[in-house]
């Protein structure tokens, strides 16, 4: 009898909760949203060089990974390297405020590195009421990409100024200022020095990797490249090598599937991409030659649906590099504190 009463009480409670699901949901949502909106996920971290991986995928559809996007925070500097589809929106969703974005650097002009830049423009503009255009810096052709974005978004920019007013969306701030820069120092401000070097992504040329230095810490970002001695040279003595990675054995399975499905042209594309990317094993060899402390793989091709498949993706990379090898995920964060040798790994 007592048990029956308890079951009845439970059923009545559940029915009450179901009946009240709209007001309860609103209250719960409000509590979470009030806490999360406008937060700064980078606040409270010690001075140092911070990398936030906002997009770690490639043009191959991957529900877990946006296209190429990496944010660099160092002192007062906040920069992006590349902005592929979905990356910048993910970064904003991670709680990284983009009002203070200083510039966007491009490694090269493949669509998966440039097609998601509109949110960077908009969030930096309205986040800081910027009156000046956002620098878009990269290899030859970058100014043309900037001009294309400005043309595409000119109507949008005028609507936003008209709607929100000059105090929030001032005329002139919702645009890019494109700069084609030769290899060499492309950024030198507040202790952060970023140097572009040529990599081998032929027929895409020029294509850049970047060496990033801040207060004695350094990171090299390969960009998209076949295994290149230039990356080893640039990464000599760096703390971290962030390298793109494609596992040919797994891509070959996709090629076979496309051939079996009667799609020979798409199958050929999956063979072509092998020539201008780097396998995890090759990246590990480069990391070893350069003597870096940690190898972070990104631009993951093909998509690996969950961590179960990461060992298959890495192959025997671990035999070629004695240090830690990580596969970056969207939200992975590395923090290199100034005046230290530590590498802190975190996630947003
Ligand atoms: Zn790419
Ligand atoms: Zn590329």
Predicted TM-score (pTM) of this structure: 0.94
What mean pLDDT comes out for the span 244-256?
Answer: 96
Residues whose CB falls within 8 Å of the CB of residue 214, separated by 6 or more in sequence, listed in order: 48, 49, 74, 75, 77, 191, 192, 193, 336, 338
Expressed as residue numbers, the domain containing 255 is: 43-347
**Which residue, 210, 254, 266, 171, is CA-closest to 80?**
210
- Give the tens place of pLDDT for each residue, 177-226: 999 999 999 999 999 999 999 999 999 999 999 999 999 999 999 999 99
Ligand nearest to the CA of 202: 2
Long-range contacts at 6-12 (CB < 8 A, ≥ 24 apart) = none
- Give the tens place of pLDDT for each residue, 89-140: 999 999 999 999 999 999 999 999 999 999 999 999 999 999 999 999 999 9
| Cβ 225 vs Cβ 204: under 8 Å | no
* Predicted confidence band of residue 257 (pLDDT cuts 50, 70, 90): very high
| Cβ 286 vs Cβ 241: under 8 Å | yes
The residues annotated as belonging to the active site are 112
Ligand nearest to the CA of 109: 2
Cα–ligand 1 centroid distance for 58 (angstroms): 6
Report if residue 134 sits inside a domain: yes
Cβ-based burial of 265 (10 A; exposed 0-12, middle 13-18, buried ≥19):
exposed
Cα–ligand 2 centroid distance for 66 (angstroms): 14
Report if residue 30 sits inside a domain: no
**pLDDT of 290 strictly over 90:** yes
* Predicted confidence band of residue 1 (pLDDT cuts 50, 70, 90): confident
Number of domains comprising the chain: 1
Cα–ligand 2 centroid distance for 250 (angstroms): 19
Ligand nearest to the CA of 299: 1
| Cβ 132 vs Cβ 173: under 8 Å | yes
**pLDDT of 306 strictly over 90:** no
Cα–ligand 1 centroid distance for 341 (angstroms): 30
Count Cβ atoms below 10 Å from residue 135 Cβ, excluding itself: 19
Q: What is the dihedral of CA 246, 265, 87, 33, to 10 degrees?
A: -120
| Cβ 225 vs Cβ 201: under 8 Å | yes
Report if residue 15 sits inside a domain: no
Cα–ligand 1 centroid distance for 283 (angstroms): 16
**pLDDT of 305 strictly over 90:** no
Report if residue 20 sits inside a domain: no
Report if residue 200 sits inside a domain: yes
Q: Which residues make up the environment of ion ligand 2, defined by Cβ < 5 Å?
A: 110, 224
Cα–ligand 2 centroid distance for 203 (angstroms): 10
Question: In angstroms, rounded to a whole number, what is the distance separating the alpha carbons of residues 262 and 264?
Answer: 6
Report if residue 36 sits inside a domain: no
Query: What value does the mean pLDDT of the chain take?
Result: 96
* Predicted confidence band of residue 81 (pLDDT cuts 50, 70, 90): very high
| Cβ 234 vs Cβ 213: under 8 Å | no
Report if residue 149 sits inside a domain: yes
CATH number at residue 236: 3.60.15.10
Ligand nearest to the CA of 226: 2
Q: Which residues make up the environment of ion ligand 1, defined by Cβ < 5 Å?
A: 110, 112, 224
Report if residue 27 sits inside a domain: no
* Predicted confidence band of residue 31 (pLDDT cuts 50, 70, 90): very high
What mean pLDDT comes out for the span 264-269?
Answer: 95
């Amino acid at each position: 009898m007592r048990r029956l009463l308890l079951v009845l009480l439970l059923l009545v409670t559940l029915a009450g909760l179901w009946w009240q699901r709209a007001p309860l949901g609103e209250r719960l949502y409000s509590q979470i949203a009030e806490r999360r909106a406008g937060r700064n996920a980078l606040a409270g971290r010690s001075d140092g060089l911070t990398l936030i991986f906002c997009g770690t995928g490639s043009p191959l559809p991957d529900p877990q990974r946006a296209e190429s996007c990496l944010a660099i925070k160092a002192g007062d500097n906040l920069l992006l390297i590349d902005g592929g589809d979905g990356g910048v929106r993910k970064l904003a969703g991670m709680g990284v405020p983009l009002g203070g974005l200083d510039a966007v650097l491009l490694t090269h002009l493949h669509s998966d590195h440039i097609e998601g830049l509109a949110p960077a423009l908009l969030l930096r503009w309205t986040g800081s009421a910027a009156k000046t255009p956002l620098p878009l810096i990269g290899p030859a052709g970058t100014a043309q990409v900037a001009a294309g974005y400005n043309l595409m978004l000119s109507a949008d920019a005028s609507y936003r100024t008209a709607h929100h007013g000059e105090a929030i969306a001032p005329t002139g701030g919702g645009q890019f200022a494109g700069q084609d820069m030769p290899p060499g120092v492309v950024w030198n401000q507040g202790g952060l020095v970023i140097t572009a070097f040529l990599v081998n992504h032929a027929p895409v040329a020029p294509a850049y990797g970047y060496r990033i230095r801040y207060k004695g810490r350094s990171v090299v970002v390969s960009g998209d490249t076949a295994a290149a001695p230039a990356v080893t040279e640039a990464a000599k003595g760096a703390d971290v090598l962030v390298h793109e990675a494609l596992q040919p054995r797994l891509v070959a399975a996709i090629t076979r599937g496309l051939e079996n499905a009667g799609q020979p042209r798409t199958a050929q594309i999956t063979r072509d991409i092998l020539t201008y990317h780097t396998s995890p094993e090759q990246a590990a060899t480069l990391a070893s030659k350069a003597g870096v402390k940690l190898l972070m793989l990104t631009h993951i091709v093909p998509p690996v649906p969950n961590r179960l498949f990461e060992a298959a993706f890495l192959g025997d990379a671990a035999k070629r590099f004695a240090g830690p090898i990580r596969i970056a995920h969207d939200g992975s964060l590395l923090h290199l504190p100034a005046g230290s040798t530590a590498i802190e790994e975190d996630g947003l």
